[in-house]
Structure formats: C-alpha cells, structure tokens
C-alpha cells in the first residue's frame, strides 16, 4: 500500500480370517467361530469330569480319555449333575452367541460411523468451489517474510527482492502444475526513491493459465512484492497479499485438477514491482504489457494487505470488536480518491454493477463455506485471559465485511480503475496513517511491519495465530468464489483439442512492431505433444510459428486469430484489437515517493505478551483434496515459527471405537462367561473334596 507524503519384493497369501477379523464376520465365519467356542467349552467340561491326579496315577497309561456323556454323571453321589452340565452349556452357548453377535455388529457399527462422518463431510462440502487452505497460506507467509527481506525495487541483485520474486513465481507454477502455466518476466525502468535514484530496472512477474473455451478473455489477479527502503519483512504491506494470492492459485489448481476441468477463460497471476515508489509496476503493465488487450480484460483483483481484519479481535480479546474487512470496488462516479477520473461507458458501468452484485453474493457463500469446512469457532481471551471459544462466520457477522466504492487510490488497482474495468481491492486495516486511527491501527510500511507483530495484533502473542491465518484465508476464499463464477473464469472440460493461447498484447500502434507468442498453448491430452501454430492478423497477412512479429499499417479494428493444431485436434482463438495512432495511455499522477515513512504519534504500537495461554492453531480444511502440490523445500530454517500439521487435509476419519450397543453385548458375554467358569471351578473343587 503506497503512502503519500500527506498520509502514515515377496508376495504373501492372505491368511484366512480369524474370529478377530471383524470385517470378515459374516454367517459362515460366524458359525465357524461359534463352533470353536463350543468345542472349547466342551473341552473344559471334559477336563473337569476326568479323573483326579491321584486316579490318573492308578489308571493304565493306555486307557483312553472317557468321552463326555451325560449318563456317566448321573446318580445321587455325582458331584456334577446332568442339569449342571446343561446349565453350564447354555451359559457358555449364550456368552458365545453374544460375542459372535457383537462381532457381527462391530463392522456394521464401524461402517455406520464412517458413513456418518463421510455423509457429514459431503454435506459440508456441498458448496462446490475452491477452498484455500489457511495453514498453507500462513506457512507461506511465515517463510517469505523471514527469508526475503528488504525488498526495495531497483537497488540490489539476487537478494531479498529478486529472491522473493523467484520463489513466489516457482511456487505459483507448482500450484498450477498440469494446467499449462506460462511465466513472463516483464522488466521496465524506474526512477527510484525521490531522494535516491535507482541503480537497476524493476520487473513484474506474471504466471498465466490459458482458458480452454475463451482464452482471448482474461482476468488479472495481482499484488505487489516490493517494500519501503527501511522496511524489513514488509509483512502486512504486501507480503500478506502475495501469500494469500499463492493460496488462491493453489486452491484453484487443486480444484481444477481434482474436478478434471480447466478454466474457461485465461487468468494471469501477477506480482507488481515498484508499487511503493509510485505504482510504477501496475501502470507499466497497463500502459505497455496489456495495453492492446484491455478490451478483453474482464476484471482485475488487487490482493492487498490483509491479516488485520475479521475474524480477528485486537490482541485476541473477546471484549474487543471484530476488526473490519473491506471489498473496495470501482466507483460508479468520481469521489475524493478519483476526482475527474471515472469515465465509464454504459457497457462498463453495467459490468461494474454486475461485478459488485457478485461480491454481494460472495460474502454469504464464503461464510457458509468456512463453517462447512470446519472453521465455525475461534478461541479468544476472556477478562481473565483464559481461552473462550466463540462462533465465527455466522450470518449475523457478515456485516464485518464491507463492500464500498474504492476510497483510497493508493495501490495497484488505480490504473485499472482509470481504464474503466471492474476492479476490486480486498484488504484489511489501512488506518495507521489516519489522524484518528482505531486502537488496532497497524504500522505498515515501517520497520515494525513484521509477522510477529501481526500475530500479536491477532492473538496478543508473537506465536502463530489462528485468527491471522483465517484473516488471510478470508480474502483468498472471496477471490476463489468469484473466479469460479461462470461469467468470471468459469470452468470447462477438455474435449480432446489443444488450448490455443495468445500472449499479452502490448501497445497496438500503426507502424510499431507487435511481438506475439503462443507459448501458453498446450495439449491437455499430452503436454509433450508437438503443436503447430498458424496466425492470421486480420489485415491479409498470415504466418506460422510459436513466436511472431507483426506491424499494422493502418488504423482500425482487426481480428487476430491463432489456430493451434495437435495430433488429436485443432482449436482456434480470436480476439479483436484496436490499432491506433497512439497507445491507450493512462498517466500516472504520482511522482517518485520518499523511501521512508514517519511514525504516526497518534498510534501506540502494541507489544506481545507471550505469557498468555496458547490458543490452538488450525487444522487443514475438511475437504477431499488431491495429492499435495510438490514444492521445493526451504533449505534453511525460518526465524518465525512455521506451523506443521501432520494430520491429512481430509479431516479425522479414524474409527472412534465400538458403539455403546456393542460394548454392552461384550460386557454381558463376559459376565456370563465368567459366571460359567466360576460354576465349573466350584464343581471341580467339590469333586476333588470328595
């Protein structure tokens, strides 16, 4: 967020199931186990009625054991009568039946409990749209803030600034693996800080996933990665936006792969450079990189500073109100932030109105989804600093997310609003440099702008905060809901034909060369399939190749067409471009800014109390996710604790044990069995006594 000077090997056969193999307990096996129980019972009775040790010594060694016979035990002097045998046999038979019955119920009971869990899970995930993982976002946030610091644009090579861009780009490519991500490094000159000229050019990084049905239509999702001259981590502004943009990319990629679909339209994930010096990265992108393609841009999402917002309460105290979150949309008319700058055509106005209406639908859907995937409560501190769980993401709390006309033209949304596009900035607290800020005003763009302080503002201590993770995931899920809408990115199923994708189209000016490529094109059936590329520029000229150059000789509208052919099929993509005598240039009203901000004396920066009771961190969302994206592991340890969750993202589906019915059956069986054995023991003792 830019601040102005006037503001702060061997196979084995499976053994046959035993009586312990409850999953195999069916009629046949149950009968086998029952026979075993009765055989053991008979053996016990026979042992009790055989001669005593003294009699054994008297009997011939060849005397076979007498078979169990009820008649042998009848008579007035028999220690064990036939009625006793019948009673004992019945007791043992009943106990055996109870054990078998309980075993029969056990697999059904386990299956029922598993089915209940899965049924609940299915009902929870009935809102079918991509779900960002708060744990992933927080871990990315913790890693990049501690590893890639001092990110001022234009001064150093292969240090925090450049390393951040390289890491973020590779992580985004990994998140979008299998979907044809294409990387572009877009370099441009900058002045540098007002008081210190830059030594190097700046650069934006762009990762594109081509659309399957309408690759000519595109949506831009961006944030900025540079920082102020004296800022170290630049945590809130805007490492937070870069982290949750990675979460958006991962959620979208996981969703597309698991559902075997592709985006219907093209999406470009961008990190802008030199925002803090005066929005130079985003103005370069609009005025140069995509200047000839603006009529094909459906919307721009600016992922700005977040994490000091709902569902957090300042210092994690239940007595403090929720900190607000904001959805700032393209104004329909001039306001204080955009005086004389809003010039919407009727078509643009309708697009902005529709865009705003979608955001109104997004909030309740996203709140419901957070509850559905397991985030329905959060711990805060009561008046005695003890943890107390309170509900979150309830319908009554939706008012903490505010949709409004963009009130602050101080970030990368600005040039896109100037161009009349549907634009949104999803952001949390920006109040630090206000004259009368709230108590949670966070000191962004200052040396204090760190992850540890953001944790403190969320939970009172510097340790990882669940509220912060959810505060980052909220704008991410709002974004994924929007992107998933049919008239945004939408989705489409592969039809056997390749994807035909045209690169960014820069300035389209008469007599000026236009460089184009089809590098983002690929064959979903087999990414290694060879492709052929045929171009038609709409002015009577054609060419072939993956990268081409062309110069238009006259002003006018032209239909640019790319046909991509693979061994399995062919697809054509066309877009209309306007060639003029000059570019559609949007002037940047901001001259280079100073590199250092001043503290606001009206704000008291909070300090951590690490003696507070720990609050539990989050588990991954309760959704069925595909195999995790493979990313390169950090080579060095982080300075800020990274939360590691060993539990799979699918949730807890472990067997919680037998139900009360099965437990009772086993208890009764045990009692009867013990009673039967006790009676046998008493009878044996009596026999020996005689």
Same domain, 47 and 85: yes
Please count the structural domains in the chain: 3
Mean pLDDT of 75-98: 55
Residues 6+ apart with CB under 8 A from 528: none
Same domain, 139 and 187: yes
Distance CA 415, CA 282 (A): 7
Does residue 587 lie in a domain region?
Answer: no
| 436 three-state secondary structure | coil
Does residue 340 lie in a domain region?
Answer: yes
Instruction: Look at the block and give the residue holding tokens 């959810």.
Output: 470
pLDDT tens-digit series, residues 179-206: 999 999 999 999 999 999 999 999 999 9
pLDDT tens-digit series, residues 454-468: 999 999 999 999 999
What is the enclosing helix (H) or strand (E) of 258? helix 240-258
User: Token pair of 476, please?
Assistant: 């991410």
Does residue 600 lie in a domain region?
Answer: no
Same domain, 291 and 392: yes
Mean pLDDT of 144-169: 97
CATH number at residue 343: 3.40.630.10
Same domain, 562 and 469: no
Supply the pLDDT for residue 97: 64
Mean pLDDT of 78-102: 57
Supply the pLDDT for residue 627: 43
Full residue range of the structural domain in which residue 173 is found: 134-484
User: Token pair of 440, please?
Assistant: 């949670």
pLDDT tens-digit series, residues 203-234: 999 999 999 999 999 999 999 999 999 999 99
Write down the mean pLDDT value for the chain: 82
Alpha-helical runs (H) found in 441-511? 451-459, 466-484
Q: Which of 184-188, 260-264, 666-670 has the lowest mean pLDDT?
A: 666-670
- 536, 542, 546, 552: CA torsion to nearest 10: -80
Does residue 490 lie in a domain region?
Answer: no
Quick one: pLDDT band at residue 690, thresholds 50, 70, 90?
low
Distance CA 354, CA 30 (A): 65
Among the listed residues 558, 559, 562, the one whose alpha carbon sits nearest the alpha carbon of residue 573? 562
Which of the listed residues 579, 595, 618 is the one where a domain comes to its end? 579
Same domain, 533 and 475: no
Q: Which of 251-260, 470-479, 634-643 has the lowest mean pLDDT?
A: 634-643
Q: Of 657 and 584, which is predicted with more confidence?
A: 584
Alpha-helical runs (H) found in 373-510? 414-418, 451-459, 466-484
Same domain, 287 and 385: yes
User: Token pair of 503, please?
Assistant: 């690169």
pLDDT tens-digit series, residues 370-419: 999 999 999 999 999 999 999 999 999 999 999 999 999 999 999 999 99
Same domain, 541 and 662: no
Reply yes or no on whether the pLDDT at 519 is more than 80.
Answer: yes
Same domain, 138 and 72: no
Q: Which of 98-102, 390-394, 470-474 has the lowest mean pLDDT?
A: 98-102
| 535 three-state secondary structure | strand
pLDDT tens-digit series, residues 675-688: 666 766 666 666 66
Other Cβ atoms closer than 10 A to 429: 25
pLDDT tens-digit series, residues 35-68: 444 344 444 444 444 444 333 333 333 333 333 3
What is the enclosing helix (H) or strand (E) of 530? none
Distance CA 573, CA 516 (A): 14
Which of the listed residues 530, 553, 579 is the one where a domain comes to its end? 579
Does residue 646 lie in a domain region?
Answer: no
Does residue 410 lie in a domain region?
Answer: yes
pTM: 0.76
What is the enclosing helix (H) or strand (E) of 600? none
Which of the listed residues 484, 502, 522 is the one where a domain comes to its end? 484
What is the enclosing helix (H) or strand (E) of 196? strand 196-197
Q: Of 627 and 192, which is predicted with more confidence?
A: 192
| 208 three-state secondary structure | strand
Does residue 324 lie in a domain region?
Answer: yes
Cβ atoms of residues 569 and 496 within 8 Å: yes
Cβ atoms of residues 193 and 217 within 8 Å: no
Same domain, 109 and 155: no
591-to-122, 151, 165, 342 alpha-carbon distances in Å: 54, 20, 25, 21
Does residue 638 lie in a domain region?
Answer: no
- 374, 380, 386, 389: CA torsion to nearest 10: -40
Alpha-helical runs (H) found in 431-531? 451-459, 466-484
Among the listed residues 121, 301, 175, the one whose alpha carbon sits nearest the alpha carbon of residue 628? 175
Among the listed residues 604, 315, 350, the one whose alpha carbon sits nearest the alpha carbon of residue 458? 315
CA 267 to chain centre: 18
Distance CA 571, CA 217 (A): 15
Quick one: pLDDT band at residue 86, thresholds 50, 70, 90?
low
Same domain, 455 and 545: no
| Residue-level length of the chain | 690
Q: Of 6 and 434, which is predicted with more confidence?
A: 434
Same domain, 331 and 383: yes
Same domain, 377 and 254: yes
Reply yes or no on whether the pLDDT at 568 is more than 80.
Answer: yes
Long-range Cβ pairs for the range 348-353 (8 Å, 24+) = 348/420, 348/421, 351/298, 351/421, 351/422, 352/422
Supply the pLDDT for residue 82: 55
Distance CA 113, CA 108 (A): 9
User: Token pair of 173, please?
Assistant: 């490519």
Residues 6+ apart with CB under 8 A from 8: 432, 433, 434, 443, 597, 598, 599, 600, 603
Distance CA 449, CA 193 (A): 20
Distance CA 376, CA 618 (A): 11
CATH number at residue 535: 2.60.40.10
User: Token pair of 139, please?
Assistant: 């871990």
What is the enclosing helix (H) or strand (E) of 380? strand 377-381
User: Token pair of 672, please?
Assistant: 């009867």
Quick one: pLDDT band at residue 256, thresholds 50, 70, 90?
very high
């Amino acid at each position: 967020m830019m601040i102005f000077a006037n503001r702060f090997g061997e196979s084995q056969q499976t053994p046959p199931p035993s009586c312990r193999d409850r999953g195999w307990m069916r009629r046949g096996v149950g009968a086998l186990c029952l026979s075993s129980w009765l055989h053991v019972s008979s053996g016990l009775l026979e042992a009790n009625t055989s001669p005593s040790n003294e009699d054994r010594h008297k009997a011939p060694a060849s005397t076979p054991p007498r078979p169990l016979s009820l008649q042998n035990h009848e008579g007035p002097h028999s220690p064990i009568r036939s009625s006793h045998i019948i009673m004992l046999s019945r007791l043992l038979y009943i106990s055996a039946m109870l054990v078998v019955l309980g075993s029969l119920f056990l697999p059904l009971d386990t299956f029922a409990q598993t089915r209940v869990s899965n049924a609940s899970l299915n009902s929870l995930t009935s809102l079918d749209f991509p779900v960002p993982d708060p744990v992933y976002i927080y871990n990315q946030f913790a890693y990049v803030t501690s590893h890639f610091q001092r990110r001022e644009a234009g001064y150093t090579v292969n240090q925090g600034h450049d390393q951040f861009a390289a890491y973020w780009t590779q992580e985004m490519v990994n998140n979008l693996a299998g979907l044809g991500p294409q990387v572009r490094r877009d370099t441009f000159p900058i002045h540098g800080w007002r008081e210190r000229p830059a030594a190097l050019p700046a650069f934006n990084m762009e990762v594109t996933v081509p659309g399957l049905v309408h690759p000519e239509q595109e949506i831009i999702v961006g944030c900025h990665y540079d920082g102020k001259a004296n800022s170290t981590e630049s945590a809130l502004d805007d490492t937070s936006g870069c982290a949750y943009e990675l979460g958006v990319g991962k959620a979208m990629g996981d969703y597309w792969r698991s559902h075997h679909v592709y985006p219907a339209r093209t999406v470009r994930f961008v990190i802008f450079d030199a925002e803090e010096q005066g929005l130079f990265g985003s103005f370069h992108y609009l005025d140069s990189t995509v200047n000839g393609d603006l009529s094909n841009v459906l919307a721009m999402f600016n992922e700005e500073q977040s994490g000091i917002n709902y569902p957090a309460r300042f210092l994690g105290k239940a007595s403090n109100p929720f900190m607000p979150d904001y959805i700032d949309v393209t104004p329909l008319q001039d306001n204080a932030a955009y005086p004389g700058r809003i010039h919407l055509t009727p078509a643009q106005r309708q697009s902005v109105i529709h865009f705003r209406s979608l955001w109104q639908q997004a909030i309740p859907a996203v709140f419901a989804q957070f509850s559905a995937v397991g985030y329905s409560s959060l711990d805060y501190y009561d008046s005695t600093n003890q943890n107390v769980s309170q509900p979150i993401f309830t319908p009554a709390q939706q008012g903490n997310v505010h949709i409004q006309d963009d009130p602050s033209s101080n970030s990368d949304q600005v040039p896109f609003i100037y161009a009349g596009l549907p634009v949104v900035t999803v952001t949390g607290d920006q109040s630090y440099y206000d004259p009368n800020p709230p108590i949670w005003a966070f000191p962004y763009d200052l040396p204090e702008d760190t992850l540890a302080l953001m944790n403190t503002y969320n939970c009172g201590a510097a340790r990882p905060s669940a509220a912060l993770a959810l505060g980052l995931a909220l704008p991410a899920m709002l974004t994924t809901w929007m992107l998933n809408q049919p008239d945004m990115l939408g989705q489409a199923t592969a039809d056997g034909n390749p994807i035909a994708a045209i690169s960014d189209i820069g300035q389209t000016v008469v007599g000026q060369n236009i460089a184009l490529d089809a590098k983002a094109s690929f064959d979903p059936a087999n990414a290694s399939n060879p492709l052929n590329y045929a171009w038609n520029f709409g002015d009577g000229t054609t060419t072939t190749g993956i990268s081409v150059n062309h110069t238009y000789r006259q002003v006018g509208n032209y239909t640019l067409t790319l046909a991509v052919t693979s061994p399995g099929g062919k697809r054509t993509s066309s877009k209309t471009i306007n060639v003029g005598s000059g570019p559609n240039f949007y002037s940047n009203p901001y001259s280079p800014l100073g590199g250092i901000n001043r503290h606001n004396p009206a704000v008291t920066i909070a300090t951590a109390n690490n003696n507070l009771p720990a609050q539990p961190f989050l588990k991954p969302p309760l959704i069925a996710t595909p195999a995790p994206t493979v990313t390169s592991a950090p080579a060095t340890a982080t300075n800020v604790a990274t939360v590691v969750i060993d539990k799979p993202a699918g949730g807890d589906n472990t067997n919680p044990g037998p139900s009360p019915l099965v437990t009772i059956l086993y208890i009764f069986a045990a009692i009867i069995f013990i009673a039967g054995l006790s009676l046998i023991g008493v009878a044996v003792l009596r026999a020996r006594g005689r």
